[in-house]
Structure 1
Amino acid sequence: MKTRLNCPCGEYITAPDEDELVRLVQAHLAAEHPGRSYERDEILFMAS
């Protein structure tokens, strides 16, 4: 299970499970990187 992702902007995002990680990453993208979006599979591919 992947629960961590380091955004290139320096933000380190962690979550208790993959569903929450995807939600948090998508929220981060919307707030900090407007116009960028990734699907669940893409986020989990980049996560560890």
Structure 2
Amino acid sequence: MKTRLNCPCGEHLTGANEDELVDIVRKHLTENHPGHDYSRDEILFIAY
């Protein structure tokens, strides 16, 4: 299960599980990188 992702902006994002991580990443993208929308699969591809 992947629960961490390092955004290229330097932010380190962590979730308790993959669903939470995807939610956290999407919120981060909306707030900090408007226009950058990624699918669940794309987010999990770069997560670890």
TM-score bin, normalised by smaller chain:
over 0.9
**Alignment-derived partner of residue 41 in structure 2:** 41
Q: What is the aligned residue count?
A: 48
Q: Are positions 1:17 and 2:8 aligned together?
A: no
How large is the Cα RMSD of the aligned pairs?
A: 0.3
Residue ranges of structure 2 left out of the alignment (5+ in a row)? none
TM-score, structure 1 normalization: 0.99
Residue ranges of structure 1 left out of the alignment (5+ in a row)? none
**Alignment-derived partner of residue 30 in structure 2:** 30
Query: What is the CA-CA distance between 1:10 and the residue it aligns to?
Result: 0.2
Amino acid at match of 1:19: D
